[in-house]
A = this chain, B = another copy of it.
Amino acid sequence: MDRNSHSPRFVRQIPDGDTRTRSVCETCGFIHYENPKVVVGSVVTCEDRILLCRRAIDPRKGYWTLPAGYMELNESTEDAARREAREEANALIRIDALLAVYSIARISQVQIIYRATLENRDIAPGVESLEVALLPWADIPWQDLAFPSVRWALTQFRSVRDKQVFAPFANPDGETGDLVPGQAGL
C-alpha cells in the first residue's frame, strides 16, 4: 500500500464477477478485500496448573485470558502460538495438540487454540499482561475470564486432558462467542 503512487479513494461497490460489496479505489480500481482475522493461542499447563494472563489492555482489561493474540504475517499458526506465550507471559511452550478452532462470526475472528506444556517454570508478565499465574483448576477465576472462548477452551481442555488423540473442538452448540456487556461469568 505504501508503494501506491496515489492516495486511495475508496467507494463501496460490487466488483465485476463478484457477489459482495467491497471497498474499491475509484482512482485505480484496487479492491481492498476485508477478511476474517486469525487469533492463535494455547491452553498451557505445568503439571496440574494452567497458565493464565491478566490483561493489561482493552478490551477486557483486568480480566484473565489465555496467552493468545493476532497472528502476524509470514508465520505459521504454531509459531504464532509460541510467540504469543513468549510475548504475554515470557513463557517457553511445547505444543502438544490442536485443541479447538472457533469462529466468532460477528467480529469475523477465527481462533485457533493449541494444547501445550511449559518447558520450564520461568514465567513473567509481558507488556500486555498485568500479571501471569499458574493456577490449579479449582482456582480458575470463572467470573473474571476475559472472553467466552477462554471458558470454552478451558472446559474442553479439561474433557480431553487424559487423551493423546482427539478431534479438536468447535464453538459449543449455540454459542457465538459474543460478549454480553454486564453479564457475569460470560
| Given A98-B167, A101-B112, A112-B101, also A70-B35 (CB < 8 A) | yes
Q: Contact between A11 and B2 (Cβ–Cβ < 8 Å)?
A: yes
In the complex, whether A72 has a CB less than 8 A from a CB of chain B is: yes
Q: Contact between A103 and B75 (Cβ–Cβ < 8 Å)?
A: yes
Interface residues of chain A: helix, strand, loop or mixed (majority): loop
Chain B residues, Cβ within 8 Å of A73? 34-36, 108
State A8–B2 Cα separation when bound (angstroms).
11
Most buried by B among A17, A37, A77, A79: A77
Contact of A106 among B74, B105, B127 (CB under 8 A): B74
**6 tightest A-B CB contacts, nearest first:** A76-B103, A7-B7, A73-B108, A35-B37, A2-B12, A36-B71
Chain A interface residues toward B at CB < 8 A: 1-2, 4, 7-12, 17, 20, 23, 32-38, 70-79, 97-98, 101, 103, 105-106, 108, 110, 112, 127, 165-168, 170-171
